[in-house]
Amino acid sequence: MRILTWICLSVLFCACSTRAQVKVDNARFKELIADSNALILDVRTPEEFSEGFIAGNASTVNVNYFSNEFIASIESIAKKDQILLVYCAAGGRSASACRDLKKAGFKKIYELEGGYNNWE
């Protein structure tokens, strides 16, 4: 029985530790953007960003996910243990961006569910 318990716990731990980010709803995202130590990361194109973006007490930065320098650009402005609040238009790019950010060593990554299109 103990072996089975250990196996289940190990599988659960591995599954949780491979998550690239925590998806949050609008309400939680609003709470998180009140933290001035967080960085709001808009991974849409500059054209999309110019049409509107999410602001808060935290700084908002636009870094195009399709840029060849995506990770390097973020590494130059954010600390690995800084809270990153990531969104795109609908959630596809931000999910990929969060996986890349985790691989790069960032630890506190929150993704807005539904992206900017779902923002209220």
Nearest Cα to Cα of residue 118 among 83, 85, 84, 91: 91
Q: Count the Cβ atoms, other than its own, within 10 Å of residue 13.
A: 10
Give the residue-averaged pLDDT of 77-81.
96
Nearest Cα to Cα of residue 103 among 82, 80, 87, 86: 80
Q: What are phi and psi of 109, to 5 degrees?
A: -120, 125
Q: Indicate whether 12 pLDDT > 80.
A: no
Give the residue-averaged pLDDT of 62-74.
98
The whole-number pLDDT of residue 57 equals: 87
Q: Would residue 88 show up in a list of annotated catalytic residues for this protein?
A: yes
Higher pLDDT, 41 or 35: 41
Go through the domains of the chain in sequence order and give each one's CATH number. Answer: 20-118 (3.40.250.10)
pTM comes to: 0.82
Q: Indicate whether 86 pLDDT > 90.
A: yes
Identify the band that residue 5 occupies on the pLDDT scale cut at 50, 70 and 90: very low
Q: Indicate whether 56 pLDDT > 60.
A: yes
Q: What's the mean per-residue pLDDT of the chain?
A: 88
Identify the band that residue 3 occupies on the pLDDT scale cut at 50, 70 and 90: low
The whole-number pLDDT of residue 1 equals: 55
Please pick, among 8, 14, 16, 88, the residue that the annotation labels catalytic. Answer: 88
